[in-house]
A and B are shown apart, each in its own frame.
Chain A
Amino acid sequence: MTAATPTTPPGPDPLTPVLTRRWLSPRSWSIDTYEQLEGYEALRYALGKDPDRIIQLVKDSGLRGRGGAGFPTGMKWGFIPQGSTGPGAKPKYLVINADEGEPGTCKDIPTMMADPHSLVEGCIITSYAIRANFCAIYVRGEALHCIRRVRHAVEEAYAKGYLGKDILGSGFDLDIVVHAGAGAYICGEETALLDSLEGRRGQPRLKPPFPATAGLYASPTVVNNVETIASVPAIVSGGSDWFRAMGSEKSPGPKIYSVSGHVERPGQYEAPLGITLRQLLELAGGMKDGVPLKFWTPGGSSTPIFTAEHLDVPLDFEGAAAAGSMLGTTAVQVFNETVSVPWAVMKWTQFYKHESCGKCTPCREGTYWLELILERMVRGQGTEGDIETLLDVCDNILGRAFCALGDGATSPITSAIQYFRQEFLDLIAAQPAVAHPDQLAELSGATA
């Protein structure tokens, strides 16, 4: 049953700024602004309460992970063993995945730059709930200015007594370290991130055991995305019914949609989960110069592409999946008719090949061959058999790779062939070969 109090209007507004509600304020990233705008009130309320009831609140809210997979956050926290004996006696850790790098995804970086304290407050409440005394925020190395803002926020929080020993007299201790990555997309995978945080090559671990039992330093660990944790203070302040007044039953809450590409006004739009591309395009001023839409990603390059047929697919976890893709990170990349699908797919495949960590054979070797075949096609030297070969290689990666990177590498290819097979065939038919760079420029429409 959906929760609706009598004061709740029939439906939420098209945009519902929660995470972005402070972004327009001057120096929104400073603790002064944050505190003026109800900052750290949720923490004051939560400290001293039964931590299990905070976990229950997050479970009731229906908050799902915002890093792409959509795992229920409260359930993840509930997996952490508690107690003074056995596995519960080990130290527990909270690790924030701020290694934003999925092509198209650009929500966590603006969040950390504009409102780092919402993340810090979320970290403190979460650590209290799961009984962790150490939290690491693993920020992508290239996001240097975020690192400054988050580090500065952490220092401000220490100075105000929100971090350190005996926080606000509650007896709860917490240290937060802001850790810079060093340029590896794979570290967005939670177990690779943990290995990286332990000072190793960022390669994924075999699961099980899951991080909840054997995470950082083989201790119980929660790994959550920035947007997930930054949502926690609002959930404490507003309650689960308030949170559920936005979005759908199974995908509740607001979400930052990052609209990029061939639209008039690209940017960050925070809307209730379930908004459609048609509505987003309206908000973003429509297609750039009126050139029609050709294809788009609902949540980054690892989510199968959509076409103009999918304008009305509700962009929540269930809606995107039912239409054959995934919600991912709600990184909506919009491409118009001037863009060659095989070229775009080749570019994405070059990315996966570069970022494959090399640990497992299907992904390491598969992405290598996928790249070569696609580059040959775009060069004008493809054969009809290449399409089947691509699908065959994808079939040998999907479900057989060590982690989701391999699966993600197949998504653009299989979905592109599904919707645009004829374009691949036309490209093959358009032989003889054209010199590589010229054709690339022509196909990309980059000069347009």
Chain B
Amino acid sequence: MTLPGGNPEMNAPSAAAPDEVVWEPVVDDPAVVAPVFDELTRQRTKEIISRYPQPRSALLPLLHLVQSVEGFVSQDGIRYCAEALELTTAEVSAVATFYTMYKRTPCGQHLVSVCTNTLCATLGGDDIYGRLKEKLGVGHEETAGEPGTVGSITLEHAECLAACDLAPVLQVNYEFFDNQTVESAEALVDALQAGEKPNPTRGAPLTDFRTVEMELAGVFPDLARSVEGPSVADETLRGARLAADRGWRAPSMPDSPPDLPALPEKK
């Protein structure tokens, strides 16, 4: 079908069409990327990509890696991932902006996430978040203090953190602080601001936001040590303990695995 008078583009203001379009780089000085993402990061990038059958699967871990270097995901970080995976920056940006854990502005030394989903909120999560907002003078995904400096804190309200039996909960750098109160949360934030690192209820000893982002990328500085961090709360074990106390158990298994069933006759 022919449109009247040709096609819509013909009505557009005429522009000199070069034979070959050369896109200007988004960042004026390409060299700024290099020092931030050093040789070690590039090496880790290669290792992460090599874990997957297809390179693009490494994008989520690589964005975590970028956050571990930059403290957030900058345009440089987007471009770094795009280059590493031979994607466009648009493709990487689309992913980086979709997920809540990728932060687009510089984060504090610590990220404090308060669960304000229904159950935690009912048991005090809203009060905790409200008090911390007031105390730190910031809102959702805002940072108190100079980002990256000791004691700086980025605050956010989080969706259900899957620790409902321990409600209300909050996380610092994704380590769990269970059964919180307004007072305990305030004391925790005071300690963080003073440069201390209180131990989480469940999780490894506190480090900082950048270090845990590296772990999320799959690069563990000291897994043998961090894996030892406690994980069980009384709540976790209640059912198992109650069963042990009362002598309740699952039916006994046979001494050796029974024969696998025969296959039904094929038609």
Bound-complex Cα distance A15 to B251 (A): 11
A148 B227 Cβ-Cβ under 8 A = yes
Whether, in the assembled complex, A371 has its beta carbon less than 8 Å from a beta carbon of chain B, the answer is no
Contact among B61, B124, B159, B216 for A185, CB-based, below 8 A: B159
CB closest residue in chain A, given B176: A145
What are 19 A-B pairs at a CB distance below 8 A?
A: A13-B250, A16-B249, A16-B250, A17-B240, A24-B240, A45-B256, A56-B262, A113-B202, A114-B232, A181-B99, A184-B100, A185-B159, A254-B250, A256-B239, A266-B165, A268-B165, A333-B164, A351-B159, A446-B125
Query: What is the distance, in angstroms, from B240's C-beta to the closest C-beta of chain A?
Result: 5
Interface centre among B54, B212, B218, B257 (most CB of A within 10 A): B257
A17 B203 Cβ-Cβ under 8 A = no
Chain B interface residues toward A at CB < 8 A:
51-54, 56-61, 63-64, 85, 94-95, 98-102, 113, 116-119, 121-127, 130, 158-167, 171, 173-176, 202-204, 212, 215-218, 220, 223-224, 226-227, 229, 231-232, 234-244, 246, 248-254, 256-258, 260-264
Residues in chain A near residue B57, CB distance under 8 A: 136, 179, 197-199
A104 B98 Cβ-Cβ under 8 A = no
Contact among B174, B257, B264 for A141, CB-based, below 8 A: B174
A49 B260 Cβ-Cβ under 8 A = yes
Residues in chain A near residue B176, CB distance under 8 A: 145
Whether, in the assembled complex, A383 has its beta carbon less than 8 Å from a beta carbon of chain B, the answer is no
Bound-complex Cα distance A16 to B85 (A): 48
Bound-complex Cα distance A145 to B176 (A): 9
B165 A180 Cβ-Cβ under 8 A = no
Bound-complex Cα distance A197 to B51 (A): 12
A177 B239 Cβ-Cβ under 8 A = no
Tell me the A329-366 residues at the B interface (CB within 8 Å): 331, 333, 335, 339, 344, 347-348, 351, 354-355, 357
Residues in chain A near residue B125, CB distance under 8 A: 446
A182 B60 Cβ-Cβ under 8 A = yes
B242 A91 Cβ-Cβ under 8 A = no
Residues in chain B near residue A357, CB distance under 8 A: 98
Bound-complex Cα distance A284 to B256 (A): 35
Query: What is the distance, in angstroms, from B189's C-beta to the closest C-beta of chain A?
Result: 19
Bound-complex Cα distance A23 to B158 (A): 28
B56 A261 Cβ-Cβ under 8 A = no
Residues in chain A near residue B127, CB distance under 8 A: 441, 446-447
Bound-complex Cα distance A179 to B49 (A): 12
Residues in chain A near residue B236, CB distance under 8 A: 23, 110, 113-114, 267-268
Whether, in the assembled complex, A7 has its beta carbon less than 8 Å from a beta carbon of chain B, the answer is yes
Residues in chain B near residue A17, CB distance under 8 A: 239-240, 243, 248-250
A100 B252 Cβ-Cβ under 8 A = no
Query: What is the distance, in angstroms, from A51's C-beta to the closest C-beta of chain B?
Result: 10
Query: What is the distance, in angstroms, from B90's C-beta to the closest C-beta of chain A?
Result: 12
B263 A56 Cβ-Cβ under 8 A = yes
B226 A331 Cβ-Cβ under 8 A = no
Residues in chain B near residue A354, CB distance under 8 A: 159
In this complex, the interface size class of chain A, counting residues with CB under 8 Å from chain B, is: 35 or more
Bound-complex Cα distance A441 to B182 (A): 14
Residues in chain B near residue A181, CB distance under 8 A: 60, 99, 101
Interface 9-mer from A81-89, A233-241, A417-425? A233-241
Tell me the A254-287 residues at the B interface (CB within 8 Å): 254, 256-262, 265-271, 283-284
Known: A12-B250, A145-B229, A242-B254. 8 other contacts (CB 8 A): A7-B252, A103-B119, A104-B164, A109-B163, A136-B57, A145-B204, A147-B216, A357-B98
**With A148-B220, A348-B118 as given contacts, are A246 and B251 in contact (CB-CB < 8 Å)?**
yes
Bound-complex Cα distance A155 to B226 (A): 14
A180 B239 Cβ-Cβ under 8 A = no
B117 A347 Cβ-Cβ under 8 A = yes
B56 A198 Cβ-Cβ under 8 A = yes
B250 A180 Cβ-Cβ under 8 A = no
Query: What is the distance, in angstroms, from A363's C-beta to the closest C-beta of chain B?
Result: 15
**With A8-B251, A183-B101, A268-B238 as given contacts, are A355 and B122 in contact (CB-CB < 8 Å)?**
no
Query: What is the distance, in angstroms, from B148's C-beta to the closest C-beta of chain A?
Result: 20
B249 A242 Cβ-Cβ under 8 A = no
A202 B99 Cβ-Cβ under 8 A = yes
B99 A239 Cβ-Cβ under 8 A = no
B239 A182 Cβ-Cβ under 8 A = no
Residues in chain B near residue A331, CB distance under 8 A: 164
Interface centre among A196, A202, A234, A267 (most CB of B within 10 A): A267
B123 A261 Cβ-Cβ under 8 A = yes
Bound-complex Cα distance A245 to B212 (A): 44
Whether, in the assembled complex, A60 has its beta carbon less than 8 Å from a beta carbon of chain B, the answer is yes
Residues in chain A near residue B227, CB distance under 8 A: 29, 148-149, 152
A182 B63 Cβ-Cβ under 8 A = yes
A100 B162 Cβ-Cβ under 8 A = yes
